[in-house]
Structure 1
């Protein structure tokens, strides 16, 4: 008699974004068998999530990301709003394309760099109060624009802000709920010579990064608390979540999932 063979085939879940090495915690266990989508084509966000055991389906958003900075009294709301538009666009598109297999959770993120963070934050000296108006730095339009950003950031402190929005189905109109968070990290630039900034801008590494500088995790290496990539040459210190600077605040994201599991009765239940 063969005890290891069954006439009934094992039915694997159609969707499973939770990898075998993931920690057995309630928030991740609730994602097993769910269709979880990351509304981003960022390899950095994908790798950060994969490292901690989550491998969502990748469906980049088509949202234009053209919101006006001027409509936000608090600029920290800007990346949250952009992330929300991304998540809603992907959710609605997937529901329309395949209503019988709609997503259980859509995750979207947007990262920007704010110059001259306000005083009162950790490591921001009060003598800077009222000195300069904050500017939103997104991806530079050219190497010359990249150099302009680096000259502005040089020997100064900037604030990396990532907005994360989650969209999931509910029974009441409009059929989905949105939950969002933002994570803020201070990055201290060293007093770099102009020649180094020019060389970095010409390298092209920062062209597709918010603020024009890259802090990244090398492929196939674990996440660590040190600066990686050529951009690390420009940075003196990071205060806060390092992974937020890389592109996704994974620790805050998982804490947020835990809160939703505990406090939202309809979270991933429809």
Structure 2
């Protein structure tokens, strides 16, 4: 399995580093910001459409699947999955610019939920949890939508926007963990590590 070691991946023993089952630059940046040592392994888990699952159930299942796909015995593995939900409908990554435009139109002037599932697997640890952040969009003008779509930032983003970039112009307010909207619920992760794997935080 091809393995990519992140910038902070050489800190200390392997047992004191997370295996991050994600190649997301945003998740890597958040772990670096929180000074949590880690290394990256691309998950082999294949996400499948399961329309019968609620958003929280879906992201929890995906997070667990990602973590299980790369887990090594004796190591601590983190799997994360994030989705945008509005009126019970899940908005994943847009297929093309037209799909992105439809998503932004649906979200315009309304509140939606950003739901992240998080799974920690390790010695005597098997935890799956989730975090929800409420995000309200401004009423988007056609000009703003056109400008945002032209930026290309929507590509590969759940809900077709990135709050930490130009997508911040689309947002009126949020309630909850900002980092969750970026892609990883930092407060939830820290709470779980403090409870189940404090040695990882001691190596920061």
TM range (shorter): 0.7 to 0.9
Tell me the CA shift for residue 199 of structure 1: 2.3
Task: Give, in whole Å, the separation in 1 of the partners of 2:16 and 2:177.
Answer: 28
- Give the match for residue 81 of structure 2: 110
Task: Give, in whole Å, the separation in 1 of the partners of 2:55 and 2:185.
Answer: 18
- Give the match for residue 184 of structure 2: 248
Q: Tell me the TM-score normalized by structure 2.
A: 0.86
Task: Give, in whole Å, the separation in 2 of the partners of 1:259 and 1:67.
Answer: 33
Query: Residue 243 and residue 234 in structure 1: after superposition, are their counterparts in 2 closer, same or farther (change >3 A)?
Result: same
1:232 to 153, 168, 175: 168
The one-character-per-residue Cα deviations of 1:227-266 (angstroms, maximum 9, x if unpaired) are: xx1111111111110010011111111111222259xxxx
Q: Which runs of 5+ in 1 are unaligned?
A: 1-15, 21-30, 96-101, 117-133, 171-176, 217-228, 263-270
Confirm or deny that 1:136 pairs with 2:118.
Answer: no
CA contact (8 A) 2:94 2:155 kept: yes
Aligned-CA RMSD value: 2.2
| Matched position secondary structure for 1:41 | coil
Q: Which runs of 4+ in 1 moved over 6 A?
A: none
Q: Which runs of 5+ in 2 are unaligned?
A: 1-7, 199-204
2:50 to 61, 64, 68: 68
Q: Tell me the TM-score normalized by structure 1.
A: 0.66
Confirm or deny that 1:206 pairs with 2:177.
Answer: no
Which one scores higher on RCO, CA 8 angstroms, separation ≥ 6? Answer: 2
| Matched position secondary structure for 2:103 | helix
The one-character-per-residue Cα deviations of 1:201-235 (angstroms, maximum 9, x if unpaired) are: 2321011110000112xxxxxxxxxxxx1111111
- Give the match for residue 201 of structure 2: none
Task: Give, in whole Å, the separation in 2 of the partners of 1:138 and 1:180.
Answer: 21
Write 1 or 2 for the structure with the bigger share of strand. Answer: 2
CA contact (8 A) 1:19 1:54 kept: no
CA contact (8 A) 2:140 2:170 kept: yes
- Give the match for residue 138 of structure 2: 190
- Give the match for residue 78 of structure 1: 58
Task: Give, in whole Å, the separation in 2 of the partners of 1:183 and 1:215.
Answer: 17
1:42 to 15, 18, 24: 24
- Mark the structure with the bigger radius of gyration: 1
CA contact (8 A) 2:15 2:74 kept: no
